[in-house]
Copies of this chain bind each other. A is one copy, B any other.
Amino acid sequence: MRIRDENKEASIREKAMEMIVNEGFDGLSMQKLAKAAGVSPATIYIYYKNREDLLTQLYNEVQEKFAEVALRRFNPELSLEEGLWLQWKNRMKFILEYPVYFQFFEQFRNSPLINHKDIQKNEFRENMKNFVLNAIKRGELAKMEPEIFWAVAYGSFYTVVKFHLQEKTMMGGPFKMTDTKMKQMLQMVLKALKP
């Protein structure tokens, strides 16, 4: 039998995300995608059941890659400061390396597609929950709901990362993240979180 061309699948995946990032979900048509990826429209249907399946599979793949990078060298026994810093660095690294993945990811997360039955649940969940609980037990973290922890610890982080990826922020000029600024912000966030 004929062997699958890995390049074709990768090309479809990459071009699909590029199209969505540049033109939105309504800018993605199967025929345009086929042309951009250099394959026949029918080829896409070898890899994906239909358009919906393409979108949800793309999201699940990105989510898996992202989780893998975010959890690198992480374990929930780490101190609050060490663990949070590691997560920020891991996430930042991924986002800077694959900005298109991240922008696709964010667009998807804010769309109704996120409620699709085929979307996998986040695998950090357990890890993150344990990390929070351990830090509270150790007295490094004030007692709070995990969602409030998440909002303060990561909501602020993602907001600043999105500024970094824009050419002009809502405040006027451009904004570039640096290691120093990231450390400054970590200290601020830690002050908020400590008991």
- Which residues of A are interface residues toward B (Cβ below 8 A)? 21-28, 106-107, 109-113, 122, 125, 128-129, 142, 144-148, 150-152, 154-160, 163, 169-172, 175, 181, 184-185, 188-189, 191-193
On whether the beta carbons of A151 and B160 are closer than 8 Å, the reply is: yes
Top 3 nearest A-B pairs by Cβ distance? A155-B159, A192-B192, A151-B159
Docked Cα-Cα span, A59 to B125, in Å, equals 34
Q: Please give the count of copies of this chain that the complex contains.
A: 2
Determine the chain B residues whose CB is within 8 A of the CB of A157 once the complex forms: 151, 155
On whether the beta carbons of B152 and A189 are closer than 8 Å, the reply is: yes
- Closest beta carbon of chain B to A32's beta carbon, Å: 13
What are 12 inter-chain pairs, A to B, with CB distance below 8 A? A21-B112, A26-B28, A107-B111, A110-B111, A145-B175, A146-B171, A152-B188, A152-B192, A155-B159, A155-B160, A158-B159, A191-B192
Determine the chain B residues whose CB is within 8 A of the CB of A110 once the complex forms: 106-107, 109-111
- Closest beta carbon of chain B to A149's beta carbon, Å: 9
Q: Using CB atoms, name the residue of chain B closest to A188.
A: B192
Could you say which of A23, A144, A157, A171 has the most chain B C-beta atoms within 10 Å of its C-beta?
Answer: A171
